[in-house]
Amino acid sequence: GENVEQHPSTLSVQEGDSAVIKCTYSDSASNYFPWYKQELGKRPQLIIDIRSNVGEKKDQRIAVTLNKTAKHFSLHITETQPEDSAVYFCAASSYNTDKLIFGTGTRLQVFP
Amino acid sequence: DTGVSQNPRHKITKRGQNVTFRCDPISEHNRLYWYRQTLGQGPEFLTYFQNEAQLEKSRLLSDRFSAERPKGSFSTLEIQRTEQGDSAMYLCASSLSYDTQYFGPGTRLTVL
């Protein structure tokens, strides 16, 4: 069935360092890959997304890369700041259904 | 506030009672989704609507769960004969077709 695996489950970095979170999906029909940030007690908020016709997308300090052949996509955060500390979820959906299949989340801690 | 809203924000109930949650989507969004999130996990898809039509329902969803979107605007999610395992955060999201899903703040259900 549909599945999205996410690694690592926790990630601790020093302020200013880069952070990378990786996800693998199983459904070859997946064509949309959003990333959500969820702070404690808050709603998930979209930070960046990518569609399968694009290999990479960047928005200031955040970038996402997609490897359709390997069914991998990754989130890259550069110059991390303490306010980047949160849980990050990757997700995937396919062209024939709009539902999002989420990964299990990565808790990112950025230490000053 | 023009975002997705959910009521109530918290609900405590006794096992065996019925509960109903409400979601008000962003006004022009034709799609509305329900997800469930337990501690330390990513949101899990429950069901979604396009206008008033329920397009998909998770196979994991018990018959005790029912959702409606009678006029294609707000939606309700009802859980009958609640069980302790139903304790979770119930998230609603809305979108235009095949576009970004925006989440509400969630309803936290505790079943005693």
Using the predicted structure, report yes or no on whether residue A93 has a pLDDT greater than 70.
yes
Nearest CA in chain B to A41: B105
Phi-psi region of B85 (alpha: psi -120 to 50; beta: other; left: phi over 0): alpha
Residues of B in contact with A89 (CB under 8 A): 42-43
Interface test with A, best of B1, B49, B57, B101 (most A CBs within 10 A): B101
Q: What is d(CA A37, CA B42) in angstroms, rounded to the nearest whole number? A: 11
Length of chain B equals: 112
Predicted confidence (pLDDT) per residue in A44-81, tens digit: 999 999 998 889 999 999 999 999 999 999 999 999 99
Q: Which of A4, A43, A102 sits opposite B106 (nearest CB)?
A: A43
DSSP 8-state secondary structure symbol assigned to residue A46: E
What CA–CA distance (Å, rounded) separates A51 from A45?
Answer: 18
Tens-place pLDDT, residues A13-52: 999 999 999 999 999 999 999 999 999 989 999 999 999 8
pLDDT of residue B57: 93
- State pLDDT tens for residues B50-77: 999 999 999 878 899 999 999 889 999 9
Question: What share of chain A in percent tops pLDDT 90?
Answer: 89
Say whether B48 and A89 touch across the interface (CB within 8 A).
Answer: no
Cβ atoms B111, B82 nearer than 8 A:
yes
Q: How confident is the model at residue A2 (pLDDT cuts 50, 70, 90)?
A: confident
| Strand, helix or coil for residue B112 | coil
A17, B65 Cβ separation under 8 angstroms? no
CB contact under 8 Å between B45 and A101, yes or no, is yes
Residue A45 contacts B, CB cutoff 8 Å: yes
The answer to whether residue A1 scores a pLDDT higher than 80 is no
Q: Please state, rounded to an integer, the average pLDDT across all residues of chain B.
A: 95
Nearest to B33 among A95, A99, A105 (CB): A99
Residue A97's pLDDT is what? 82
Spatial CA neighbour of A71 closest among A105, A22, A34:
A22
pLDDT of residue A79: 98
d(CA B106, CA B23): 9
Tell which residue, A14, A72, A37, A9, has the closest CA to residue A64: A72
Question: What residue of A is the nearest CA neighbor of B43?
Answer: A102
> Residue A45: CB partners within 8 Å, gap ≥ 6?
A36, A37, A38, B103
**Residue ranges of chain B whose pLDDT lies below 70:** 1
Backbone angles phi, psi at B103, to 5 degrees: -95, 150
To the nearest whole Å, the CA of A33 is away from the closest chain B CA by 10
> Prior bond to A44 cis, omega within 30?
no
A11 pLDDT above the threshold of 80: yes
> In terms of CA atoms, which chain B residue is nearest residue A102?
B42
**Bigger pLDDT: A74 vs A1:** A74
Distance CA A68, CA A53 (A): 9
Nearest chain B residue to A5, by CA:
B42
